[in-house]
Each structure stands twice: as structure tokens, then as C-alpha cells.
Structure 1
Amino acid sequence: MLVLLPPSETKSPGGTGPPLRLDTLSFPELTPTRERLVETLVRLSEDLPASLEALGLSPRQSEEVERNGALWNSPTLAALDRYSGVLYDALDVGSLSGEERRRADERLAVVSALFGVLRGADPVPAYRLSAGSRLPEVGSLRRLWRPELSRVLESVPGPVVDLRSGAYAALAALPDPVEVRVVTEDGNGSRKTVGHHNKTHKGRLARALALAEREPESPAEVAEIAHGAGLRVEQPGRRSLTLVVS
């Protein structure tokens, strides 16, 4: 099983690991594209106005451009520690025991505009690049990543639980994912799709799947694990799940 998480715009700063080495990352077939994008961001950082425009940043966010300029030299953190925000707060990998963290590193993966896809323990520096960005000499990241990232994810054995947001889902097509929709239900049984706050609930589901002693082999077993963690999950279709929250 692989659980695909979206990244976050915010990243935890600093790190304790050595500088970036692309040959240490999972899915080594993505190395040429990763190197091209890192080199592009480093060169682009030399032109602050062009960087701000390409990355959709304001002048007050110039430190993000400085981070990109130091991609080859900055300290690294494991991917699950690097990304932050509400989903990662709910996932709370810092509270996991050693064996639980090993399972999380193996089962959870982050889809990244810069690195394609990362397993939980992959060491990466802080950076800024969004799926919707267009870079000089590269253009659309969707067009760049989609063919090869789709091939890589198609080769993953077992079910793939897709918790990506829309922009990151566009970076790779999946042949038969387990798709998860988050809805709220009021006292009258009326439902509506949850927006930004779905990330918290997806983080809780990802944590439940990481903590499970056995890996699920079907959507029904994903739902069973979620139920065991106190989540309300329904299976309206063969490969679809609905996470219902109050």
C-alpha cells in the first residue's frame, strides 16, 4: 500500500541531515527531472523579481527565493518532518514510536512539485515550488511530471490511497486509486464536501493507515482500519471511500 499525501506550502526550517543528494531519494528513475528542476530554481533565484513572479510570491516572501538558491547546500529533514500545516499536524509523526515511524515512512508518500514523489524518510531541504507554477525553460509542471510520474506510480504494488489535492492530483494519473472524499453531515443528514479543512481529516486517516499493524489490501480493508481508529468511513463505490465528519 502507498498513501499519497499533498505537500504543504509551508515547510519546517533547518534540518539535521547532510545537504541534498538526489541519489539517496526513493524512485531514482525521477532523478533527471529532479536535477533539472533544482538547477532551474537555483539559477532563477539569482533574479529576485523573476523568481517572485514565477513562484507567485510577494516581495515580503523573498526569503523563500533565498531557500531555493541554497537547495544544494541546505541541511535536510525527512520528508514527513519537512512538510507542515494542518494535514501534517493531524498526522503528528513526532509522536510515533520507532516501529510506527518505520511503517509511516514506508507507507506514506508526498507528491511534490520539485521532487515528484517522496517516501516519508527521504531527506530534502526546505524549498518553495507549487504544482501550478510555470518556470522559465520548463513551463508547466503538470506537463513535465505527468508522463513519467504516472508511470512510476502505476508500478507501485498494492492499493494506492489518493489523498492528494487537485493541483497535485494533476501531476500524475493513477490507474485504479482508492479515492477519498471528505464530507460534513448536519443533524438532518444533509451533506456537503469539506474544503480546506479536509486536510485535517485526511491527516487523521493517513495516521490510522500508518499505525495499522497490517497493510490493507482493498478499499474495504482501508475502511475497516479507519473504523478501528474511530473514523466514520463509507464505501459508496468499488474504489471510492467517503469520510464523514460532523
Structure 2
Amino acid sequence: MIVLLPPSETKRPGGDGPALALDAMSFALLRDTREELVGELAELAADRPASRKALGISASQDAEIDRNAALRTAPTLPAIHRYTGVLYDALDVESLHGAAAGRAQSRLAVVSALFGLIRAGDRIPAYRLSAGSKLPGRPTLAARWKPALEPVLAELAENELVVDLRSGSYAALGKVPDAVTVDVVAEHADGRRTTVSHFNKAHKGRLARALATTRAEPADAAAVAAVARRAGMRVERRGDHLTVVVAA
């Protein structure tokens, strides 16, 4: 089983690993697109106004541009430790040890706007690039990633059950055939249901942790739902789609 996570805009700074080595990253078929985007993003960093526009940031966030300028030389961290924020706080991979940590390393993967599909242990620098970013004079990131990423995701899905926890903009970078998909809804006292927005990430992080650490080997959506329920989550299933129901 592979659990696909979205990245986060916030990244842990620094690192204790060597500089970015694209040849050492998982899914070698994505190397050319990674190389193009790293080069373009580092070059764009020399033009701060253009970088701000492309990345959707303000002058107060120019440190993000500095990170992009140093993409090829900055220290690295494993991807699963680089990303921070609500989902990754709930996942709390730093607290895992022994066999649970090993299962998380093998099961967790991230779909990044800069690197495409990466495994938990792939070492990456801090950077700023979101799925909705638009590099000057270039097609959208979805248009650039789909031709390279979808064949890799399809091959992955042939061999593993894929549980797709990505948000919409990152799911648009490449579809996964036959993936188990998940949404989160809040149920009110009167039975009315509404979409969960901010805390959606926290609940998906909890589910990711349950799936990453379970001794079970889920083979279908029903088995994924069973793992979630054992973790105390209320889950409904319709085919390959799961709905996590939380109290409003």
C-alpha cells in the first residue's frame, strides 16, 4: 500500500544531508521534469518581482525566494521531515520508532509541484513552489507534470493499493487509476453535513498515520476503512471512495 500525501507550503528549514541529487531520487523517469523545474525556479529567483508574482508571495516573504536560489546547494532532509503544517503535525512521523517507522517510510509518498512523486526518504531542500504557481512563459504545472507523472502513477497502482489523500490542486498534477480516495465532512446535530476545510488536513493526517503504521496490509477500500475505524475514526464507504465523518 502507498499513501499519497500533498506537500505543504511550509517547510522545515535547514537540513543535515548533502545537496540535492536528482539522480538519487525515486522514480527516475521524472528526472527530466525535475531538472527543468529546479533550473527554472533557481533562475527565476534572480528576479524578485517576477518570483513574487509567480509564487503568489509578498516582499515580506522574500526568504522563500532565497531558498529557491539555493536549491542546488542547500542541505537536504528526507521529504517526510521537510514538510510541516496541520497534516504533518497530525501524522507526527517523528514520534514513530522501530517497525512502525519502517512501515511509514515504505508506505508514505508525496506528490510535489517541484519534484513530482517522491518517497518519504527522498532527500530534498526547502523550496517554494505550489501546484497553482505559474512560472513566466511556461505552461501550467499540471500540464507539465501530467505526461510524465501519470504513467509513473499508473505503474505504481498496478503493483500497490494507492490511497490518495491529496488536495484537488495536487491531484490535478496526475491521476491515479483505481485509487482509494477520501474526503472529510462535518455532521451537525440536525444531521446536516458540511465540507470540512482547515481541519480536513488534520483528519487526513490522522488517517495517514493509521495507514502508515498498521501491521495490516490493506488490499482494498474496505480494508482501508477497517484500519481507520480501528483508529477511532468514523468512516463511510461507497465503492473506492471513503468519507470520514466528524462532529461539527
TM-score normalised to the size of structure 1? 0.97
What is the identity, as a one-letter code, of the residue corresponding to 1:144? R
Distance (Å, rounded) in 2 between the aligned partners of 1:158 and 1:68: 34
Provide the residue aligned with 1:40 in structure 2: 40
Write the deviation string for residues 72-97 of structure 1: whole angstroms up to 9, x where unpaired.
11010111100000000000001000
Is the CA contact (8 Å cut-off) linking 2:33 and 2:148 kept in structure 1?
no
> In structure 2, the residue corresponding to 1:135 is in which secondary structure?
coil
What is the identity, as a one-letter code, of the residue corresponding to 1:198? N
Structure 1 residue 138, shift from structure 2 partner = 2.9
Distance (Å, rounded) in 2 between the aligned partners of 1:189 and 1:86: 27
Provide the residue aligned with 2:15 in structure 1: 15
Structure 1 residue 98, shift from structure 2 partner = 2.8
Q: 2:168 aligns with which of 166, 169, 172?
A: 166
1:230 aligns with 2:232: yes
Provide the residue aligned with 1:188 in structure 2: 190
Structure 1 residue 139, shift from structure 2 partner = 2.5
What is the identity, as a one-letter code, of the residue corresponding to 1:238? G
Distance (Å, rounded) in 2 between the aligned partners of 1:74 and 1:138: 25
What is the identity, as a one-letter code, of the residue corresponding to 1:173? K
What is the identity, as a one-letter code, of the residue corresponding to 1:202? K
Distance (Å, rounded) in 2 between the aligned partners of 1:19 and 1:185: 47
Write the deviation string for residues 2-49 of structure 1: whole angstroms up to 9, x where unpaired.
111111000000011111001111111100100100010111111111
Provide the residue aligned with 1:239 in structure 2: 240
Write the deviation string for residues 113-160 of structure 1: whole angstroms up to 9, x where unpaired.
000011111100000001011113432101000121111101112221
Distance (Å, rounded) in 2 between the aligned partners of 1:71 and 1:143: 23
Distance (Å, rounded) in 1 between the aligned partners of 2:39 and 2:102: 31
Provide the residue aligned with 1:118 in structure 2: 118
Structure 1 residue 181, shift from structure 2 partner = 1.2
Structure 1 residue 187, shift from structure 2 partner = 2.2
Structure 1 gap ranges (5+): none
Identity %: 58
Superposition pairs of residues 66-105 of structure 1, within 5 angstroms: 66-105=66-105
Is the CA contact (8 Å cut-off) linking 2:45 and 2:51 kept in structure 1?
yes
Provide the residue aligned with 1:219 in structure 2: 221
Structure 2 gap ranges (5+): none
What is the identity, as a one-letter code, of the residue corresponding to 1:194? V
Distance (Å, rounded) in 1 between the aligned partners of 2:53 and 2:136: 11
TM-score normalised to the size of structure 2? 0.96
Q: 2:181 aligns with which of 179, 182, 193?
A: 179
Provide the residue aligned with 1:63 in structure 2: 63
Provide the residue aligned with 1:197 in structure 2: 199
1:24 aligns with 2:17: no
Is the CA contact (8 Å cut-off) linking 2:77 and 2:125 kept in structure 1?
yes
What is the identity, as a one-letter code, of the residue corresponding to 2:114? L
Provide the residue aligned with 1:139 in structure 2: 139
